[in-house]
Structure 1
Amino acid sequence: MATLIQNGVQIAFGIELELLLQAKDKRLSDLKRLGYVDNDKEHRSELGRGMNQQAIEKYIQQRLDAVQLPSQQRRNKMAQKDYSLWGIEKDESITKKKIGCYGVELVSPVLFHGWPNTLEQVIDIIKDAFTIVEDASTGTHVHIAPLGRPWSDAEFKQLSKGIVAWSTLLEPLMPRPSRNCYARWNHEQWPDRKQQENIIMSIDRLSRDEIKHKISLDRRYAWNLYPTDTIEFRRPYQTLSHKEALHWVVLTLSLVSFFLRNGELQVPQQNDIKAAREKIRKESNKLGLALHLNFSFCK
């Protein structure tokens, strides 16, 4: 993917899919060959869950590799993480309370041309072997950055203004309560409209570190400014289908594009959800991605 959005700037992105998976009967034999044990005792024991987690991750790796989507099983202390590959990780924030269900996070590399087909292919592989269990402890994260370089200071400041200006507008647009403490709305730090206006006016004279501190005290906010070279939108809901994954990517790209295109961003007088959706829709159309935007997934 390389989307022209402003002065020839190409924007690249990657997606993180937090998934709670339950093995389907039709793929149990394949999983068992990798060490999976399907009984209540093993699903409840720490050792059994660890073995099953490994088997699930190995199965996903084999299936991705088979369709020329090279991947890598990753552990927290792994020395060599290759971010040009799909990453398959255990996510400790996903619930462990549902017996027979296992939390897996899929981390994409930078996605290029044909990315809608790639996401469909990946999620079809998952859904062929597993039920994606709906759960509030999971979510979808989208990372955005200019292709081949970090955000410039001017771009970073412009995006920061957009994040603040639209901070209270996005909450009713995506009204579902936060999955947990890992994706709080940024405006919880400054709920007053006057505070938001003052932050926007101050951004141009602040350093990047000062802006980060004002907008997201740490990485656990909807808009996370702390990743190296990227900006992360953490608020999208759990992905249950490839169409939802496409929607969350396009929504994020459209917001970033809109923020960059509009020099004077102001806090709206009122939260006009219909107008906000229309602005996002128009931006997605400019990007040639409106086909994948579906606001029914935001309810």
Structure 2
Amino acid sequence: MEEENSFQFGVEIELLLGSRKKTHPNWKSLAKDLSKRLVKAGIANHINDSNDKSADNYREWSIVQEVTIPSQPGKNLWGLELVSPVYHIQSYWAADLTTIFNTLHSSFNLVASPHCSTHVHISGHPLPLDASALAALAKCALYYEPALDLLVPAGRRNSTAYWCQSNRASPALRPLNSLGDCLSLIDVAEATGSIRPVVEAMNLFPAASAYGRAHGKHKDFIRGKVYKWDFTGMLASSGSTSRGTVEFRQPSGSLSAEEAAAWVTLAAAFVAGAMAVGPNLGGDIGVQGASPEELWALLASGGEMLGWESLGGVEGLFERAG
């Protein structure tokens, strides 16, 4: 794939784990143990105590405390998140995932938890996605939502999980009667030539919500971390330049390198495929969403655009979905 049409990504892997041989009094003790073992395995990393989002923290893997995962000190289990550096989509990132999970499984107990998830950030490289590309992805996120839902556990479908609600719950989209109306709204947002209206369509949050009332909001506001697709990373904040990422937040937790790699592959192929398919999705669409077969065709097209010979573990996600 030509460089101007390429992508970079980062992955965040939430884990509930404990040492096989040591009892740790807190998550920081566990994090230090894990950090040393990863370094020994050849994975450069550091502990990011404050969950600082500055660029320096994305030059190597980092270990962050994850407060949304209830730790279980009595069982020597602690919640944390492994945050990757920025990878080019054509790099040998899968080998790093294999090394990391080999290290985890050799020295730690990984426990499945509904509180764990895997988040994938995608950005254009070397140029960020523009309003047209972002709108194409937004329309595909809405159209292919029913098929994507089938690939994740029931607790991460529709709006059953607070941290990965349907983007159609956004106050901008919720009042609309049909999927076609939602796609038409995205077209209107794209026509402004600005990224912000597209982000607002996908990621507004109600001022009347408990969070909005607690924070003194008087009108609906942008908040992406509660939706399946978070576009807010495309916006500049605190006077800095935009990170230029879109985050796919719906995947469940990963207990193996194969699972984590499958979610990365799916997200990247989806974004690549959306660049071609999204512009052709319009308000005249007469169905409620794509079938699994249509989703597979989109992913296969995206993988081909990325120069991949196969979609690896993504096929397994479809097989488990039946």
Same-fold status (TM-score > 0.5): yes
Deviations 1:9-34 (A, max 9, x none): 1211111000010222xxx2xx4xxx
Partners of 1:111 and 1:194 in 2: CA distance? 35
Would the aligned equivalents of 2:271 and 2:302 in 1 still touch at CA under 8 Å? no
Report the CA distance between 1:147 and its aligned residue: 2.5
Partners of 1:23 and 1:72 in 2: CA distance? 18
Q: Tell me the secondary structure at the aligned position of residue 247 of structure 2.
A: strand
Residue of structure 1 in register with 2:236 after alignment:
none
Residue of structure 1 in register with 2:314 after alignment:
293
Relative to structure 2, which stretch is displaced further, 174-183 or 220-229?
174-183
Instruction: Give unpaired runs (5+ residues) of structure 1.
Output: 38-47
Structure 2 residue identity aligned to 1:144: I
Residue of structure 2 in register with 1:257 after alignment:
272
Cα 1:162–1:79, aligned 2, differ >3 Å: closer, same or farther?
closer
Residue of structure 2 in register with 1:172 after alignment:
150
Partners of 1:199 and 1:7 in 2: CA distance? 31
Report the CA distance between 1:143 and its aligned residue: 0.5
Partners of 1:155 and 1:198 in 2: CA distance? 15
- When normalised by structure 2's length, the TM-score is 0.76
| Among 152, 175, 183, the residue aligned to 2:130 | 152
- 1:276 has 2:295 as partner: yes
Q: Tell me the secondary structure at the aligned position of residue 291 of structure 1.
A: coil
Report the CA distance between 1:208 and its aligned residue: 1.7
Cα 1:278–1:295, aligned 2, differ >3 Å: closer, same or farther?
farther
Residue of structure 1 in register with 2:77 after alignment:
101
Deviations 1:153-192 (A, max 9, x none): 3322322232233234422343522284111121233363
- 1:201 has 2:187 as partner: yes
Identity %: 22
Partners of 1:212 and 1:233 in 2: CA distance? 14
Instruction: Give unpaired runs (5+ residues) of structure 2.
Output: 205-222, 234-242
Partners of 2:76 and 2:287 in 1: CA distance? 48
1:215-226 matches, within 5 Å, as 215-217=202-204, 218-219=223-224, 220-226=226-232
1:1-299 matches, within 5 Å, as 4=1, 8-24=4-20, 28=21, 31=22, 36-37=23-24, 48=25, 50=26, 53-76=27-50, 82-97=57-72, 99-112=75-88, 113-174=91-152, 176-178=154-156, 180-189=161-170, 190=173, 192-206=178-192, 207-217=194-204, 218-219=223-224, 220-227=226-233, 228-262=243-277, 263-266=279-282, 267=285, 269-270=287-288, 271-287=290-306, 288=308, 289-296=310-317, 299=321
Cα 1:131–1:111, aligned 2, differ >3 Å: closer, same or farther?
same
Would the aligned equivalents of 1:161 and 1:203 in 2 still touch at CA under 8 Å? no
Report the CA distance between 1:225 and its aligned residue: 0.5
CA RMSD of aligned residues (A): 2.5
- When normalised by structure 1's length, the TM-score is 0.81
Relative to structure 2, which stretch is displaced further, 71-80 or 156-165?
71-80
Partners of 1:116 and 1:259 in 2: CA distance? 23
Cα 1:182–1:173, aligned 2, differ >3 Å: closer, same or farther?
same
Cα 1:88–1:250, aligned 2, differ >3 Å: closer, same or farther?
same
Structure 2 residue identity aligned to 1:145: S
Partners of 1:170 and 1:229 in 2: CA distance? 23
Partners of 1:249 and 1:268 in 2: CA distance? 31
Cα 1:91–1:175, aligned 2, differ >3 Å: closer, same or farther?
closer
Relative to structure 2, which stretch is displaced further, 81-90 or 157-166?
157-166
Partners of 1:78 and 1:247 in 2: CA distance? 27
Q: Tell me the secondary structure at the aligned position of residue 75 of structure 1.
A: coil
